[in-house]
Amino acid sequence: MRKYLISILLVLVMLLNSSTALAEVTITEFRDISLGYGSTHPIKSDEEMFSVADVVYELSFLENSFPLLKETQIPINVVHKRFTHKKYGSLGDFATRDGILYLFAFQRPNVRITVNGIEIPYNASLNRYFVSHGIGHLVRFRYLSDKDLRDYVNKIRQPDKKEHRDGYDEYYNNPEELFAEDFRSVFGSELARRVVFKPCYSRPGPEEKVWILTKTELIKEYPLTCTERLEWYKIDKEEGVKEINRCKKVWDEKSKHKDIDGAKAAHVWADQIRGAMGLPLQ
C-alpha cells in the first residue's frame, strides 16, 4: 500500500503551473482491498491500472468548475485490481455514502482520440470520466438529501422526457447515476465529457447546472452566463426582483446622461428577466 497526502496547490505548481487550490486530497494506492460490496479480480496487464496523475488533473479542474470542492476533504483509494459489485457488476469507480471514492483497474480499449489537435490515448479520457462521475456521487451524498434528488429527477429532469436509445443500460437511468452523469457532464473537464453520456436523457444544460449550484449554495459566487442567470431567477424570484431593480437604476442613470444604447440594454435585460420569471414585460 502506498499513501499520499497531497496538497493540490503543490501538485498544481509541479504539474500544471495553474491557479491556487485549497483542498487536501488523500490518495491511497492499494494492490488489493477487501470490500463488502463486491470482489476484486487480478488485472491482465499494468495498462489497466488507474493513473494517479489523471486523478490529480481532474480534481484540479473540478476545484475551479465546482469551488465547493476546495473546502472538502476527499479520500480516494486507487485499487490496482478490477472490481465486480454484487449488484451492479464491473465498475471503474465506486463512491460510498460516507464520502470515500474508490477507483479500480479496468479493461481499456486500444483507441486514441484527438484533443486540440493532439492525439492522446482514450485511457486518459476514461480516467477523467471515472473521477468526475465518482465525485458527482460524493457531492450528491454530502450535499443533497434523498428528497432533493427526487425533486431533481421529477421536476428538473422529468422522466417522461427520457429518450429511447438502443443498447443503453437502464442502470444509468436510476436517480443516483443520472445525477453523477449530469455532474460529470456539467462540471467535468473536456476529456471527462468526451465519454458518451450514458442515461437515456438529453445532456444537462443551464437549468440542471443552476439547480445544482443553488442547492449547494454556490450560486451567488459563481460566474454565471446570462442564460444561467435567467435559470437562476426562475428558481430564486427574490434575486430576480433585485436584478430588475438594479436594471431600473442603470436605466435611470444611462437616460440621465443620454446614453440611449446603455438605457436600452438595461431595459432589454430587465424584460428578459421578467419573461423568465413569468412577469409582464414593460
pLDDT value for 7: 44
DSSP classification of residue 281: P
Q: What is the mean pLDDT of residues 107-122?
A: 59
Query: Radius of gyration (Cα) for the chain, nearest Å?
Result: 22
The pairing of beta strand 93-95 with beta strand 89-91: unpaired
pLDDT value for 24: 67
Residue 101 phi, psi (nearest 5): -110, 125
Nearest CA to 133 out of 164, 95, 160 is that of 95
Say how many Å lie between the first and final Cα of the chain, rounded.
Answer: 66
Per-chain mean pLDDT for the chain: 85
pLDDT value for 16: 39
Confidence of residue 94 (pLDDT cuts 50, 70, 90): very high
Per-residue pLDDT at 181 exceeds 90: yes
pLDDT value for 9: 40
Q: Distance between CA atoms of 204 and 231, rounded to whole angstroms?
A: 13
Q: Distance between CA atoms of 166 and 81, rounded to whole angstroms?
A: 31
CA 163 to chain centre: 22
Give pLDDT tens digits for 5-34: 444 443 443 343 333 343 567 888 888 988
Give pLDDT tens digits for 184-217: 999 999 999 988 888 888 899 999 999 999 999 9
Q: Which of 122-126, 156-160, 258-262 has the highest mean pLDDT?
A: 258-262
What are the extents of the domains in the chain? 2-144, 226-277
Per-residue pLDDT at 149 exceeds 80: yes
Q: Distance between CA atoms of 78 and 29, rounded to whole angstroms?
A: 5
How many beta carbons lie within 10 A of that of residue 66, not counting itself? 24
Q: Distance between CA atoms of 236 and 211, rounded to whole angstroms?
A: 10
pLDDT value for 113: 52
pLDDT value for 167: 57
Q: What is the mean pLDDT of residues 122-139?
A: 90
Give pLDDT tens digits for 26-64: 888 888 988 888 999 999 888 888 888 889 899 999 999
pLDDT value for 25: 74
Q: Distance between CA atoms of 2 and 133, rounded to whole angstroms?
A: 24
What proportion of the chain, given as a percentage, has pLDDT over 90?
A: 57
Nearest CA to 39 out of 87, 75, 99 is that of 87
Per-residue pLDDT at 104 exceeds 90: yes
pLDDT value for 150: 95
pLDDT value for 12: 41
Q: What is the mean pLDDT of residues 112-120?
A: 55
pTM (two decimals): 0.83
- For CA atoms 227, 23, 130, 17, give the dihedral sign: positive
- Per the DSSP assignment, residues forming a β-bridge with 119 are 114
Q: Do the beta carbons of residue 70 and residue 63 sit within 8 Å?
A: yes
